[in-house]
Amino acid sequence: MPTRTALPAGPGETWSGDDLKLALSAASVWLGRNIEVLNALNVFPVPDGDTGTNMALTMQAAVKQVAALRGRPATEVASGVSHGALMGARGNSGVILSQIFRGFAEGIAGKERITARDFAAGLVAATTTAYRAVLKPVEGTILTVIRELSEGAEAAAQERDEFGFVLAETARAAKESVARTPTLLDKLREAGVVDAGGQGLYMIMDALSRFVAGEDLSESEVAEASGSKADMDLGHAHVEHGEYGYCTNFMVSGTGWDFDQVREKIAAMGDSAVIVGDGTLVKVHIHTEMPGTVLDYACGLGSLSQISIANMQDQHDEFIEMHVDGTEGTKPNSATGSGDEPPPVAQGRIAVLAVASGAGLVKTFRSMGATAIIEGGQTMNPSTEDLLKAIEKVPQDEVILLPNNGNIIPSARQTQSLTTKQVAVVPTDTMPQGMAALIALNFEASLEENARMMEAAASRVQTGEVTRAVRDATVQGIAVKSGDIIGLLNNSLVTTGSDRDEVALDLLQRMEAAELEFITIYSGGDLEDEVAEAFRDRVQELYSNAEVELVDGGQPFYDYIISAE
C-alpha cells in the first residue's frame, strides 16, 4: 500500500474503475486490521461469529472479485464488488454490507467515471437497497448509519463536488450516527454501547477518507475500542417467529398496485413474512392469527392462486404424538444399524443440508438423515458461497437448508436467488432446533409443506447452552466478567455462576425440566467424559420423569448444549 495516494480528490476530479478499486482495497485493509476492535463490540459475551470477522471477510471477498480488473469502468468495478460481497457475505452484518454494495452499484450504473456527487448518489441508493433487504427495519443498527451517512454525503456533495471533502463529511456523519445508536435501541442503551455493524460501516468510510488524504492504512495505528461492546443481531430484527397460528401461502396476480406498499401492508398482518414479486405478481408466505384478513386484502388486489393455510399448532401436536409414541431411539428418516455411516438419503427427492461443527454433532445430523453437512456454526459462519456450493453439489433439485445459527440465516436466504434449484430455508438458530426439524422431514410431502412442518417442529424445542464469557458485559440486567460460566436459554443470557454444573442445572430448572419428557445433553469444549457422565447421572436422578441422553457433541467452546422437549 503506497504511503501517498494518487487518487483524484480535488474539485471536479473523477474516479475511474481502478481508482474505486484502489480505495475499496484500502478500506478492506483497514477493516481487516480492526477486526478485534469490532469483535469486542458485542452485546453477548460469548464466542461466536463476530461482526468484525464477518464484515472483514465479506469485504475481502468483494475486493478479491475485482482484483484482476484493469482499466474497467467504475460501473463494472462496482458491480463486481457487489457480486463478490454477495457471495462472500457472512453473518447478519456481512449480508447487510453486501446489500449496501449492491445498492451502490445500482446507484452509479452506467458510469465510466464517477464524481464525488455520483459517489454520494450511490450511497443514497445503497440506503434504499439495504432497507428493502430487511423486512422490518430496526433503527439503531447499521441501517440507521447507512441512511444518515448517505444524507451527510449528499449534503456535502451539493456544497462541494470534491472527494476529499465529501468523504470526510461522510465519515463524520457516520461517526455521529454510530454514537446515537444507543438512544434508538433499548438493547444498546441498557448495555451502554453502540451498534457494532454501524461501527464497522463507519470504519469503512473513515478508511476511504483517510486514504484519499494520503494516509497509509497498512501502517496506521489501529483504532482504539471506545468502550462500546454492542452488536445488534439484525437477523432477529427482520425474521420474527411469533406464537403458533396459521401458515398462510398464496399468489396474487393483477395490476395497478405499488409492490412496496403491498409488501408492507401484508407484512404488518403477521410475522415470519416472506413476500416477493413485482407490479403484476406477488407471492406471499406469512404466519398470522387471521388468515382471512390477509386473503380479504389480497382479493382486492387481483386473482388468488396456490392458496395454502396450515394450522401450525395442530401440525406440531401431530409430530409430538407421532414421535413420543414411538419406541426408544426410533425416528423417521434415521439411519438404521449403528448409524456410523451416512444414511442412504441421497436418492431422495429432497436434499437436507445442515450446518454443524463438532464431530459428534455432525455424526448425529448424518444419522438423522441429513444429506450433507456444511462445516460451520457459532465460531465461524459459512459464507453465502460456501452454502451455495453445497446446494449445487447435491444431485437433488429441491433442497432444505438448516442454518442452525441465527447469524447464518441471512446468508442462507441469499442462496435462494442464486440457484435454479428450489431452496427452502428453515430458520433454525440452534443445533437442537435443527435436529427437531430433521425429525419432522417427510419425503412424501412437498418442499413447502416440509419447510412449514419443520419450522413448526423446531420452534417448540428449548435450547440451553453453557459456556464461558469471553469479555465483561452487562446483558438484560445480568453482569458478567470475562471467564465467568454463563447459561443461555434460547439464545438469551439468563444465568451465570462459578460452577458449570450448577449453571446447567439452573438452565434446566428454567426450562421446567420437571415437566419434560426428553432431555439430551451434548457435551463439548474441553469437558472430560467422566465429568459429563456424572452430570448426566445427576440430571437423571433429579428428573426421573424424563429420558436423559448424553451425546459427545464435540462442539467447540460450549461445554453443554441441552435440548429439551
What pLDDT, on the 0 to 100 scale, is given for residue 476?
78
SS (H, E, C) 290-312: CHHHHHHHHHCCCEEEEEEEEEH
For domain 17-236, the question of CATH label 1.25.40.340 is answered with yes
What pLDDT, on the 0 to 100 scale, is given for residue 494?
94
What pLDDT, on the 0 to 100 scale, is given for residue 253?
83
Question: What pLDDT, in 10s, does the model give residues 414-425?
Answer: 999 999 999 999
pTM over 0.75: no
What pLDDT, on the 0 to 100 scale, is given for residue 276?
59
Q: Is 352 exposed, middle or buried (0-12, 13-18, 19+ CB in 10 A)?
A: buried
What pLDDT, on the 0 to 100 scale, is given for residue 23?
95
CATH code for the structural domain at 239-310: 3.30.70
Fold of 462-564: Hypothetical Protein Tm841; Chain: A;domain 3 (3.30.1180)
What pLDDT, on the 0 to 100 scale, is given for residue 187?
74
The total of other beta-carbon atoms located within 10 Å of residue 311's CB is: 15
What pLDDT, on the 0 to 100 scale, is given for residue 230?
33
Residues of the chain with pLDDT under 50: 1-4, 49, 225-244, 315-347
> CA 214 → CA 25, 93, 105, distances in Å?
14, 29, 25
87 vs 65: CA distance, rounded Å: 10
What pLDDT, on the 0 to 100 scale, is given for residue 368?
85
241 vs 179: CA distance, rounded Å: 30
Annotated domain spans of the chain: 17-236, 239-310, 326-448, 462-564
What pLDDT, on the 0 to 100 scale, is given for residue 274?
59
What pLDDT, on the 0 to 100 scale, is given for residue 333?
33
What pLDDT, on the 0 to 100 scale, is given for residue 219?
67
Positive or negative: CA dihedral 277, 411, 100, 421: negative
Q: Strand, helix or coil at 372?
A: strand
Pick the CATH number of 326-448 from 3.90.1310, 3.40.50, 1.10.3470, 1.25.40: 3.40.50
